[in-house]
Amino acid sequence: MNSLGTLFKVISFGESHGSHVGCVLEGCPAGLSIDFSLIQNAVDKRKTAQNNFSSARKESDTVEIISGIFEGKTLGSPICILIKNEDAKSADYETLKDVFRPGHADASYFQKYTHRDYRGGGRSSIRITAPLVAAGEIARQLLLQYFNYESLTYISQIGEIALDEKRSKEIKQENIDISEVKCPDEGASQAMLTLIEQVREQGDTIGGVITTVIRNVPPGIGEPVFGKLQAALAHAMMSINTVKAFEYGEGFQSAAMRGSEHNDAFISLDENIATETNHHGGILGGISTGMDIRFKVWFKPISSIQQEQKTLDMNLAETNISIKGRHDVCAVPRAIPIVEAYTQIVLVDLFLQNKLSKI
């Protein structure tokens, strides 16, 4: 299960400390003009070493596309994307190869495969998402051929500090961009930065929440039963490392609401079906309604912490571990381009399926 999508399909390959990470993109229609600078820009947004709370691993993350594009346009054939691993320090993991790191996939990978790449987490590393972000940007450029695709993705919570999103319609991209933690509120951003620094000094890590709002998606995207739009988005988001929960619309709060509160009254707007409110988050019956699609993704703290922890070694003997090296204190801001990329891949795939569902 190394792929995402059906008609528009991305196949991922590579490990954290291998020579390259990459992906193959199948199903991209021919004739799409590609802006390579936007692809590189998207990948650069998820790079490490951009601030003092992200991993110090320094990668150029130069995107190389070796097939599927000629003279700046897609050919309709598979697009192969490669990114070279240039700053992998495998020696940092020699002391960890015979122990299971708490919170990591070491033990589950060992139980499933027996033989595993322990360097940087191998296949379970967030490193493998770099080329997938490149594929997601190709998906975004394709979406713009079909409709006026717009999205806002930002940090709405770090630890216990949460953004008041009652005025979310006033959130602007420029306010997100100038924030080091990608939170559109200046006061919340500063509080988040202070909290992250406190956690860093304690040798600990912290998680958070990413909110995404997608605008102008036409009604009809998504399938009624097993291809529901929210299910496809949840599947993609839950495939991102450290993600623990997904919610759309009112999400978890729905359980505390009455039907009279949660139902959205239908209205006619510009000769189209619309709703007065958007508690349903732009999706009804698994199908887009034309209203803004709104969802949240919840991230746990990064598992590599400098505090001493109890664990087992390969012989099942109890031991203690304190993880050193280059690790994120808070990786949530760096995950924004990953959330965006996976969203765009899902939307293209379901949009193409929808085109085939009617004459």
Which CATH number fits the domain that encloses residue 34? 3.60.150.10
- Residue 49: what pLDDT? 60
Distances (CA, A) of 43 to 56, 70, 89, 204: 17, 21, 21, 27
Distance, CA of 345 to CA of 356 (rounded, Å): 17
Contact 249, 255 (CB under 8 A): no
Helix or strand holding residue 65 (H, E): strand 63-65
Task: Identify the three-state secondary structure at position 218.
Answer: coil
- Residue 219: what pLDDT? 95
pLDDT in tens, 83-99: 998 876 666 676 777 88
- Residue 228: what pLDDT? 96
State mean pLDDT over 328-343. 94
Distance, CA of 38 to CA of 187 (rounded, Å): 30
Burial tier of 84 (Cβ tally within 10 Å: 0-12, 13-18, 19+): middle
Helix or strand holding residue 199 (H, E): helix 186-201
Task: Identify the three-state secondary structure at position 161.
Answer: strand
The lowest-confidence range among 2-16, 80-94, 209-223 is: 80-94
User: Average pLDDT over the chain, rounded to whole?
Assistant: 90
Q: Which residues pair with 321 in a beta bridge?
A: 309
Strand order in the sheet with 243-248: 161-162, 150-158, 208-215, 293-299, 243-248
- Residue 12: what pLDDT? 96
Count of structural domains within the chain: 1
pLDDT in tens, 181-218: 999 999 999 999 999 999 998 989 999 999 999 999 99
pLDDT in tens, 108-148: 888 888 887 777 777 878 889 999 999 999 999 999 999 99
* Assessment of whether the complete model's pTM goes beyond 0.75: yes
pLDDT in tens, 278-317: 999 999 999 999 999 999 999 999 888 878 889 888 889 9
Q: Which residues pair with 4 in a beta bridge?
A: 10
State mean pLDDT over 30-57. 84
Expressed as residue numbers, the domain containing 308 is 3-356
Of 175, 163, 176, 196, the closest CA to residue 296 belongs to 163
Distance, CA of 230 to CA of 212 (rounded, Å): 13
Q: Which residues pair with 213 in a beta bridge?
A: 152, 294
- Residue 321: what pLDDT? 84
Q: Which residues pair with 246 in a beta bridge?
A: 297
Distance, CA of 138 to CA of 143 (rounded, Å): 9
Strand order in the sheet with 3-4: 3-4, 9-14, 20-26, 79-84, 63-65
Which residues make Cβ contacts (< 8 Å) with residue 31, sequence separation at least 6? Answer: 73, 74, 76
State mean pLDDT over 234-260. 95
Distance, CA of 116 to CA of 15 (rounded, Å): 11
- φ, ψ of residue 2 to 5 degrees: the values are -110, 20
